[in-house]
Structure 1
Amino acid sequence: MPEVTFDLLGLLVMAAVFAGFVDSIAGGGGLITLPALVLAGAPPVTAIATNKVQGVFGAVSAAVAYARRGLVDPRRQVLPAAIAFVASIGGALCVSLLPTDTLRLGLPILLIAVAVFFALKPGIDDLDRAERMRPFVFNITAVPAIAAYDGLLGPGAGAFYMLAFVMLSGRGVLKATAHTKLLNAASNAGGLCAFALIASPWWVTGLCMGAGQILGAQLGARLAAGRGARIIKPLLVVVTTAMALRMMWDWL
């Protein structure tokens, strides 16, 4: 039995292209693809798992695009990516143990705070600054914390990675975005491994959407690499605010 009809699959792939474009610049592509999967008839847990299938492709595609432009060295991200992968699995496995409903209540406030920070704080641009945390310490603290959150809940993980790279590693906005993608892919993959045990992702649909994500991510990374903070900051503010508003709407 097919997962979706061909016309629905075409619409989902188009949504994935747009999501990959947005996600490669500012994160938050799940705002587009997750509701699209639910509207296509996927049960919530299946939609989340399928969303992680296709999301991995977009993040990896963006990481490759940024690496080709010399904005990130993937070899230096092997260790933090491995840490993110394991931490994300751990976070996903803790879903039944932690008060996720309580944590969700604070997420809109946190996301709006991130949006306000990037919108109003002066001096946030593409220039690198002095790091406040050594790479080793960053890799064993900030990376697993955000990755575990990605496995546990997920919304806004890309924005949190980016904020950490800007505030703690001293990266400019463009390089922070570039460094975020491989870690986001790793924590997506870890979350997928955990969710695949408790859900049945739509593998064919997810892989087809993944192809769309690859295309969208390449286009988005090319635009971001050319315009840097001028395009990344406004889109990040819009996406994080939209995520916060969506969460509040869901609770009404």
Structure 2
Amino acid sequence: MTDFLILLSDRPVLAGVLLVVAAFAGWIDAVVGGGGLVLIPVLLVAFPAAAPATALGTNKAVAVWGTLSASVSYLRRTRGIPVRFLAMAVPIAAVCAGLGALAASAVSKDWMRPMVLVLLLAVGIWVALRPGFGSGHASTLRRSGVIAGLVAAAAIAFYDGIFGPGTGTFLIMAFTALVTGDFLRSAAMAKVVNLATNIGSIAVFAAGGHVVWLLAIALAVANVIGAQIGARMAISRGSGFVRIVLLVAVVAMVGKLGYDMVAG
């Protein structure tokens, strides 16, 4: 990839498109996750000579700042988040995401896409047919819920390191079902855990030279702006808003992955 400053001077329209896309990716990531499905394809189209690993690593270096920003907003404004659970989940997620990133080159995406497609369809159908799901409130956190939630966080973090699409959505669904019973608090927890997975993945991608830092820093500014808007909208509008955006995001992700399978 060329440096962003060269891109800005030689191809300002493309630079502007990248900034807008990065902001939208931050918004969708802050609400339900899935921003990588927005930004990664644009990076690959904008820089066709770049290795896919470079697009993945640069996307992680962009997303980590938006995720950090959204996490702070959620933690400051959302009540009832199980902090002790997060204290255990964060280091587990970081390590598992790093291991997933190490294994990424050895795993074929050809069989992973249909598996993720089926899981996303199941998520969408479950949420659509159960309108009360995600609108409750878990008053107590059972030991079994903690263990199951940690196992889910570890598995999803590993998947995030390998492939990634839908990570935020899967985290929200897992935390809602196992820990909180509430979409909004689950979204807050998902942001914190997703921050850990991004950091774990970035460490591996950066060590392999697969992060274009100047481009990532420039796009991160737009990503943070989008993330702040998304987090504040989710907090102010509540679980009902998160549920609607989650369903829309699932439909979009299913369409994108389905197209990739047919086109590829």
TM-score normalised over the length of structure 2: 0.87
CA gap 1:63/1:245 in 2 versus in 1, 3 angstroms: same
Structure 2 residue aligned with 1:15? 21
* Contact kept? 2:149, 2:174, Cα under 8 Å: no
Partner Cα distance (1:14, 1:128) in 2: 36
- Select which of 112, 129, 141 maps to 1:120: 129
> Is the 8 Å Cα contact of residues 83 and 139 (structure 1) preserved in structure 2?
no
On the 8 A contact 1:133/1:168 being kept in 2, the answer is: no
Residue type matched to 2:257 in 1?
M
- For 1:176, the equivalent position in structure 2 comes to 186
Instruction: Give the secondary structure class of the aligned counterpart of 2:104.
Output: coil
Q: 3-state SS of the aligned residue for 1:23?
A: helix
What does the per-residue CA deviation read over 1:2-56, in whole Å, with 9 as the maximum and x for residues that have no partner?
A: 2451123332122111111111111111122112211221522211111111011
Residue of structure 2 equivalent to 1:86: 95
Out of 227, 232, 239, the position equivalent to 2:237 is 227
Is the aligned partner of 1:25 residue 2:31? yes
CA distance in 1, matches of 2:209, 2:257: 23
Equivalent of residue 46 in structure 2, options 40, 49, 57:
40
Q: Which segment drifts farther, 220-229 or 37-46?
A: 37-46
The share of aligned pairs that are identical, in percent, is 35
Please tell me the residue identity of whatever aligns with 1:38: L
Aligned-pair distance for 1:93?
A: 1.4
Equivalent pair of 1:31/1:243 in contact (CA under 8 Å): yes
> 1:28-177 counterparts in 2 under 5 A?
28-41=34-47, 43=50, 44-71=52-79, 72=81, 77-129=86-138, 131=141, 134=144, 136-138=146-148, 140-177=150-187
Name the SS for the 2:179 alignment partner: coil
| More displaced stretch, 67-76 vs 55-64 | 67-76
Change (3 A) 1:133 1:150: farther
Please say if residues 134 and 169 of structure 1, whose CA atoms lie closer than 8 Å, have aligned partners that are also in contact: no
Q: Please identify runs of 4+ aligned residues in structure 1 that moved more than 6 A.
A: none
Amino acid at match of 2:95: V
Alpha-carbon distance in structure 1 between the residues aligned to 2:109 and 2:40? 19
Q: How many Å apart are 1:76 and its aligned residue?
A: 5.4
* Residues 197, 148 of structure 1: alpha-carbon distance in 2 compared, 3 angstrom cutoff: same
TM-score (norm. length: structure 1): 0.91
CA RMSD of aligned residues (A): 2.1
1:91–1:152 CA contact under 8 A, matched in 2? yes
Q: Report the Cα offset of residue 135 of structure 1.
A: 5.7
Q: Can you give the 5+ residue segments of structure 2 that lack an aligned partner in the other structure?
A: none
* Aligned residues between the structures: 252
- Alignment check: 8 A CA contact 1:56 1:185 kept: yes
Q: Report if aligned partners of 1:63, 1:181 keep a CA contact under 8 Å in 2.
A: yes
How far off its partner does 1:82 sit? 1.2
SS at match of 1:249: helix
